[in-house]
Structures are given as structure tokens and as C-alpha cells.
């Protein structure tokens, strides 16, 4: 499965540490993990990162950034996030220039469609210019860890690098409390929008294939999840073609839907698929997917369904295409098994 989500009624600081240490992250009132994401229409590998704090010292550039911040502005760190008109107005201004999908409101960011359970011990950094809020960020504390959630800044102050600076404030606060790990979220190799997280220090990335954290210096020797998917499916496509089965690889944008929406649990959850003997107007198709976690192929029979997406305000949005899984034909450890299953379907 590419995306997994857990909804909890209670969560201790120690349990949060354990989730973060295995590549999970907070979204709203849930915890989630994934191997790939859709970012600006492209499929990207999500590499979860963390910064060891035990012997951490800020680099010279970071020290200068913090010094400049405090020289020009008033800085505060407080327990508990603030949702008021001042924060909301600033957030809406930030959304106009921020890339990627963003929650429509701060309340939606913190709670989504869940009841406010207050599972997390959330803190806020604040930056003021002569009494005017120009930046803030939210981060959670565990027993030995801190996770950065979001940084917001006034676009008029872009030159001060306030998004990065508030993350430095989070790290500084975590160090002052004796925390051992700081989790800034995922980085998307090949997409520079998240690379600022690599500037905070000697970060590590989570290798989901081995369950180990590795130095970022080893990332170039690591085969990314998106590359693994394409390599496995290309191999399957070549083998199927050699056995007379015409296939086409396509991306399925709605692959995360089953993890987030209970009413869509029967939908396909694979970001890349092989369509066997594709027919453009066919309502049903046989698909081949690849499971990164178990290193297995799966053949499924799916039905196409049309739907209308809802906006965060409940209005009807754009039309979307869903694939409903009608039959799980089989799972296979190698391409030979797929070819044999395809041959049996044709008999």
C-alpha cells in the first residue's frame, strides 16, 4: 500500500516518538505514512527526514539567520496553537504564494474532518514586526522528539526567509528541552520546493526498504520508491509483451483516496498501473500493480467510475475518475506469475 492512515483516540508522547521513528507523520488529527506523493501533477518519492539533536550545533549560516531574525523582529514561542482572525488572515495570504495542496483554513489543517481530540502537544513560534504578526509555525512535541507541522509567513517579508527561520526556532526550542530528534517532514528528490529542510543540519532519511535511518549523503545510492515502481512495472510490461499481452503504463491520481475516505476503501490504491489489453472506452479493465512494501505484483479486475470531487466548502468541484476493485486475481513474486495469470484469463 502506498499510503496508510491511522486514526487514534489517544496518543502518548512515547507513542508519537515511535511513529515518527518509523516514517509516520501527523496530518490533522491522524498519523500517516507514504512512499510516493502527487506533487503539482508529478509522482514523487517522499523521503521522510529527521535531524539528530544530541550533538547538534547550528551552522554559521543558521546562527546568522537567527541573529538577523531577533535583530529585526520580536520572537516568541508559546504552548498551544492560536487560531484567530490575525492568524487566519496571514495564512490566507500565504496560501496565495505557497505551492502544493494546502488546507483551506487553519482549523481544517489542525483537525480536518475529525473532532478536536487534542492528541498532540502543539507549540507555536511567532514573529512580530512592530506588533504585527508576520510569521508563525506549529510543531508537536513527543517525549524525545519534535515534529514540524507548518510554517506561515507574510509574502511581503519573503526576503527574510521566515519560513526557514521559524523552523530554526523550533529546533532551538527542542534542543533547549533536551529532545533527541527533530522531524521536518518529507523531502521530494528532484523537486526543490522541500529542499530547505536539508539546510537545517546533517539530516537523515528513512529507508523504508530496510526500516533504517541513513545519512543524507547516502541518498544518491538509494533507489527511490518512484524509480522502484517504474522499474518493476517496466519489467512486467516487457514480459507481458513478449507473451503477446499489450499493456500501457498509466498514472492513477486518486491512489490516496482509500486511505483517507472510508467510503472509498474499494477503490484502487496504486499510483502507477499497467493496463492490460487497453480499450479506451472499456468500463472494466485488468490491471497490474506493484506493492513496494511486499515486493509483489498484483493482478486485479477493476471497473471505471466517474465522480465529482467536493471542495473543502462542500461545493461540487472537478470531475474525477475512480477505479473500483471488483476482483483480486492474484499476487505474484515475479513477472512469470503475471504472464501465466494473463494467459489463463485469455483461455
Kindly report, residue by residue over 176-205, the tens digit of the pLDDT.
999 999 999 999 998 888 899 999 999 999
**DSSP string covering 230-291:** HHHHHHHHHHHHHTT--EEEEE-TTTTHHHH-GGGTTB---SEEEEES--TT-SEEEEEEEE
Residues 147 and 149: their CA atoms lie apart, in Å, by 6
pLDDT of residue 111: 87
Residue 264 CA neighbour count, 13 Å, CB half: 18
8 A C-beta contact, residue 141 and residue 13 = yes
Neighbours of 187 (CB within 10 A): 24
pLDDT of residue 68: 96
8 A C-beta contact, residue 49 and residue 157 = no
Residues 99 and 247: their CA atoms lie apart, in Å, by 34
pLDDT of residue 1: 57
Residues 52 and 2: their CA atoms lie apart, in Å, by 27
| Ramachandran quadrant class, 265 (left: phi over 0; alpha: psi -120 to 50; beta: rest) | alpha
Mean pLDDT per block of 10 residues along the chain (347 residues) reads 86 97 94 94 95 95 96 97 96 89 89 76 97 98 97 95 96 97 96 91 96 96 96 94 92 92 90 91 91 94 80 60 93 88 75
pLDDT of residue 209: 94
pLDDT of residue 315: 46
**DSSP string covering 61-94:** HHHHHHHHHHHHSEEEEEES---SHHHHHHHHHH
Instruction: Beginning with the edge strand found earlier in the chain, give each strand of the sheet holding 272-276 in spatial order.
Output: 247-251, 272-276, 284-291, 296-310, 316-332
Amino acid at each position: 500500500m502506498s499510503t496508510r492512515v491511522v486514526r487514534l483516540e489517544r496518543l502518548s508522547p512515547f507513542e508519537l516518538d515511535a511513529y515518527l521513528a518509523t516514517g509516520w507523520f501527523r496530518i490533522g488529527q491522524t498519523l500517516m505514512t507514504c512512499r510516493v506523493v502527487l506533487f503539482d501533477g508529478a509522482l514523487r518519492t517522499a523521503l521522510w527526514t529527521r535531524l539528530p539533536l544530541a550533538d547538534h550545533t547550528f551552522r554559521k549560516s543558521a546562527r546568522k539567520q537567527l541573529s538577523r531574525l531577533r535583530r529585526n523582529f520580536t520572537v516568541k514561542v508559546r504552548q498551544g496553537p492560536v487560531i484567530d482572525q490575525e492568524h487566519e488572515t496571514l495564512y490566507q495570504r500565504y496560501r496565495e504564494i505557497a505551492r502544493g495542496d494546502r488546507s483551506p483554513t487553519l482549523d481544517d489543517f489542525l483537525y480536518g474532518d475529525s473532532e478536536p481530540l487534542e492528541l498532540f502537544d502543539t507549540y507555536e513560534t511567532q514573529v512580530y514586526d512592530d506588533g504585527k504578526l508576520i510569521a508563525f509555525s506549529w510543531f508537536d512535541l513527543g517525549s524525545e522528539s519534535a515534529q514540524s507541522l507548518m510554517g506561515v509567513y507574510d509574502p511581503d517579508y519573503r526576503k527574510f526567509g521566515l519560513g526557514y527561520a521559524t523552523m530554526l526556532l523550533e529546533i532551538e526550542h527542542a534542543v533547549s528541552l533536551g529532545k533527541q530528534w527533530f522531524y521536518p517532514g518529507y523531502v521530494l528528490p528532484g523537486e526543490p520546493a522541500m529542499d530547505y529542510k536539508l539546510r537545517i543540519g546533517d539530516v537523515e532519511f528513512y529507508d523504508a526498504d530496510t526500516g533504517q535511518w541513513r545519512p543524507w549523503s547516502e541518498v544518491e545510492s538509494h533507489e527511490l520508491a518512484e524509480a522502484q515502481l517504474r522499474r518493476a512495472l517496466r519489467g512486467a510490461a516487457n514480459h507481458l509483451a513478449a507473451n503477446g499481452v499489450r499493456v500501457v503504463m498509466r498514472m492513477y491520481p486518486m491512489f490516496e483516496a482509500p486511505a483517507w475516505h472510508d467510503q472509498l476503501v474499494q477503490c484502487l490504491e496504486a499510483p502507477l498501473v499497467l493496463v492490460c489489453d487497453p480499450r479506451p472506452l472499456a468500463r472494466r479493465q485488468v490491471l497490474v500493480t506493484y506493492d513496494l512494501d511486499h515486493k509483489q505484483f498484483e493482478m486485479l479486475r477493476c471497473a471505471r467510475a466517474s465522480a465529482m470531487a467536493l471542495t473543502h466548502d462542500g461545493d461540487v468541484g472537478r470531475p474525477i475518475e475512480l477505479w473500483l476493485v471488483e476482483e483480486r486475481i492474484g499476487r505474484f513474486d515475479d513477472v512469470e506469475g503475471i504472464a501465466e495469470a494473463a494467459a489463463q484469463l485469455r483461455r
